[in-house]
Amino acid sequence: MRQKYRFVTGILALSLPQSVKSDYQRTLLEGLELFEGVAADEVKHLLQRCDRRDIEAGETLLAPGDKNEHVFIILSGSLHVHVGSPESPILLTMEVGACVGELSIIGDRDPTAYVTSAESSHLLLIHQSILWEMVDASHAFAKNLLIVLSERVRSHNRVIADNFGELKKFEYHARTDALTGLGNRRAMEESFPREMKRCQRGGLPISLVMVDIDGFKMFNDTFGHLAGDRALVAVGNLLKIQFRPRDLIVRFGGDEFAILLPEVGEQKALEIADRARAAVCGSTGDGSDSLIQIPIRISMGIAQAKDDCKLPDLIRAADAALYRAKNAGRNRVAI
Among 134, 165, 196, the domain boundary falls at 165
Domain-terminating residue out of 101, 130, 165: 165
Do 143 and 44 fall within a single domain?
Answer: yes
pTM assigned to the model: 0.51
Indicate the number of domains in the chain.
2
* Residues acting as catalytic residues: 255
Domain ranges, residue 76: 2-165
214, 297 contact by CB (below 8 A)? yes
Domain CATH number, residue 184: 3.30.70.270
Taking 90 as the threshold, does the pLDDT of residue 220 lie above it? no
Question: How far does the chain reach from its first CA to its final CA, in angstroms?
Answer: 70
Q: Residue 10 — very low, low, confident or very high, per pLDDT cuts 50/70/90?
A: very low
The mean pLDDT value for 286-312 works out to 77
Residue 300 lies in a domain: yes
- Return d(Cα 119, Cα 335) in angstroms, integer: 54
Are β-strands 99-100 and 51-55 bridged in parallel, bridged antiparallel, or unpaired? unpaired
Q: Quick one: 47 and 184 in the same domain? A: no
The pLDDT tens digits for 116-155 are 999 999 999 999 999 999 999 999 999 999 988 887 766 6
Which of 114, 130, 165 is the last residue before a domain boundary? 165
On whether both 208 and 139 belong to a single domain, the answer is no
In a domain, 173, yes or no: no
Higher pLDDT, 164 or 220: 220
Give the pLDDT band of residue 173 (cuts 50, 70, 90).
low
Are 111 and 135 in a shared domain?
yes
Q: What is the CATH number of the domain that holds 94?
A: 2.60.120.10
Do 190 and 160 lie in one domain? The reply is no
Predicted pLDDT at 244: 94
**Residues across the chain:** 335
- What's residue 162's pLDDT? 60
Report the pLDDT value the prediction gives residue 124, as an integer from 0 to 100: 93
Residues 43 and 159 in one domain: yes
% of the chain at pLDDT higher than 70 = 81
227 shares its domain with 299: yes
Mean pLDDT confidence for 256-275: 97
Q: Are residues 153 and 21 in the same domain?
A: yes
Query: For residue 15, what pLDDT is reported?
Result: 36
Residue 72 lies in a domain: yes
As a whole number of angstroms, the longest Cα–Cα distance in the chain is: 91
